[in-house]
Amino acid sequence: MRLLYLVNQIGGPGGLERVLSLKANYLVQNYDYEIHFITLNEPNPEPFYYFSSKLVFHNIRVSGNPIKYIFEYTTHLRTLIKTIQPDVISVCDDGFKGFFVPLILGKPCPMIYERHVSRNIALQNNTSLLSEKIVSLKFRIMNILGRTYTNFIVLTDGNLKEWKIKNIKVIPNPLSFYPPEEEMSTLTNKKVLAVGKQSFQKGYDRLLQSWKIVQETHPDWELDIYGTISEKEALPELAKALKVENSVNFHAPVKNIAAKYKEASMYVMSSRYEGFGMVLTEAMAYGVPCVSFNCPYGPSDIISHHQDGILVPNHDTAALANGMLSLMNDAQQRTRMGANARANVKRYLIEEIAQQWDNLFKSLL
């Protein structure tokens, strides 16, 4: 089967790039797939994550005013589709234009849309009544155009509530890794970990507010935050204003993030919203219990409250702090939840998720 992924870019350190590398590598190495990627203005000749040499990459370059941009994109895309002749096309474009691809191409074969973010992403730019109306109109159009796809895939049960589409199905993200027992975290280091780019979505401003409460009684614990650094978020300045700068460390993305999970005794997610929350599953694979806001959507699908982690009401920074404190104060609870987390997260193993994708692709033929 010839499978085509249509995506903006695959070179960066984000969650989508990571998921695509995992899925495509596994499918091309363990199933009978020929897999192609079409990217748009891809700036990174060397991807941050590993992509198998068996994968075939094509890049479309477009520029100019919107009319020229759309014309070039449409022309190049149609030409490549005729050349590749895919059996199935999977569109991984969370932007508005991704919904128009079946109309652009005339749907030459079964087409899947993969939604990797929550619709709540519009919140960060929704600052006026006019922008609210524009977003509402775009969502109505997206619901209509989403029905033109053969299947519409979301990551969590919560995401199902965001769309009025009948051909919708849940397939979660796969685990990036599942280390052997001897590689699990010892849960003895006084380190709390958070991973993700500095942005409104990730809510690190809220995390720092919670961390101020934690530091009042546990000044010997450290918070390590790994992710693309944004001066706009001004997090170091906020940490200094809250007088927690000596216990908070901001780091750029690292390829070997697994080593950081192994060093941590707790993972904390402060996101305002999520598409899934793959970092939670990664931490749990290392036996690290997680404390998370119960934001839309993902954490409640992944974490079983008080069994393998702690969920607290979204926006309640005091509750997030108390969740961290409860694990800091009780090593036995950390150990129990960490062991449960490692066992429960097996349902996201790549073998399980790839099988779901293989079944879907073959059902379309």
Per-residue pLDDT tens digits of the chain, which is 365 residues long: 999 999 999 999 989 999 999 999 999 999 989 999 999 999 877 899 999 999 999 999 999 999 999 999 999 999 999 999 999 999 999 889 999 999 999 999 999 999 998 887 765 655 677 878 888 899 999 999 999 999 999 999 999 999 999 999 999 999 999 999 999 999 999 999 999 999 999 999 999 999 999 999 999 999 999 999 999 999 999 999 999 999 999 999 999 999 999 999 999 999 999 989 999 999 999 999 999 999 999 999 999 999 999 999 999 999 999 999 999 999 999 999 999 999 999 999 999 999 999 999 999 99
Rounded to an integer, what distance in angstroms lies between the CA atom of residue 267 and that of residue 292? 8
Q: Token digits for 55?
A: 């994968």
pLDDT at 127: 62
The pLDDT value given to residue 123: 59
CB 282 within 8 A of CB 261: yes
Longest dimension (CA), the chain: 64
Single out the residue of 17, 232, 273 nearest to residue 123, CA to CA. 273
What's the CATH code, domain 181-347? 3.40.50.2000
CA distances from 35 to 71, 78, 112, 240, 290 (A): 26, 18, 15, 48, 35
Q: Where does CATH 3.40.50.2000 sit in the chain?
A: 2-174+349-363, 181-347
78: tokens are 């149609």
Cα–Cα distance for residue pair 205/233, rounded to 1 Å: 8
Q: Who's near 24: CB < 8 A, 6+ residues apart?
A: 5, 35, 37, 51, 52, 55
- Domain topology for 2-174+349-363: Rossmann fold (3.40.50)
The residue among 312, 295, 343 whose CA lies nearest residue 196 is 295
Are 350 and 174 spatial neighbours (Cβ–Cβ below 8 Å)?
Answer: yes
What's residue 125's pLDDT?
56
- pTM for the structure as a whole: 0.91
